[in-house]
Amino acid sequence: NAGVTQTPKFQVLKTGQSMTLQCAQDMNHEYMSWYRQDPGMGLRLIHYSVGAGITDQGEVPNGYNVSRSTTEDFPLRLLSAAPSQTSVYFCASSWRKNTEAFFGQGTRLTVV
């Protein structure tokens, strides 16, 4: 009954470091996405994927890369961390568009 699994739950990075946030789902969902949540800003879409091998940018994609080599996994890469990327990151998946999204537990990232 795993659903959407995100790792790590917490991370502290130094400015300029790179890292990958992992996201995996076991529900065979087509759609996966990454959001960041900041106080007063709500959840904003970073990148999304409509299936293996297909990704596209959301509203705040700068500084992030994604790939979708399998249906299950959708990692988010921070190329060169900046303090502005301090946030809570959520991965989500859904069966198809316009259906319920299931979220991972989130990754709290601090960039110093």
Partner 1 sequence: RKEVEQDPGPFNVPEGATVAFNCTYSNSASQSFFWYRQDCRKEPKLLMSVYSSGNEDGRFTAQLNRASQYISLLIRDSKLSDSATYLCVVTNAGGTSYGKLTFGQGTILTVHP
Residues in the site for partner 1, rule: CB under 8 A?
31, 33, 35, 40-45, 48, 50, 56, 58, 90, 92, 97-101, 103-106
Least distance from partner 1 to the Cβ atom of residue 103, Å: 4
Please, where are the H alpha helices in the chain? none
* Residue 40 β-bridge partners: none
Of the candidates 70, 86, 88, which has an alpha carbon nearest to the alpha carbon of residue 32?
70
Least distance from partner 1 to the Cβ atom of residue 68, Å: 12
Chain-centre distance of CA 63, in angstroms?
13
52 vs 82 by CB, closer to partner 1 = 52
Least distance from partner 1 to the Cβ atom of residue 16, Å: 28
User: How far from each other are the two terminal CA atoms of the chain, in whole angstroms?
Assistant: 36
5 vs 17 by CB, closer to partner 1 = 5
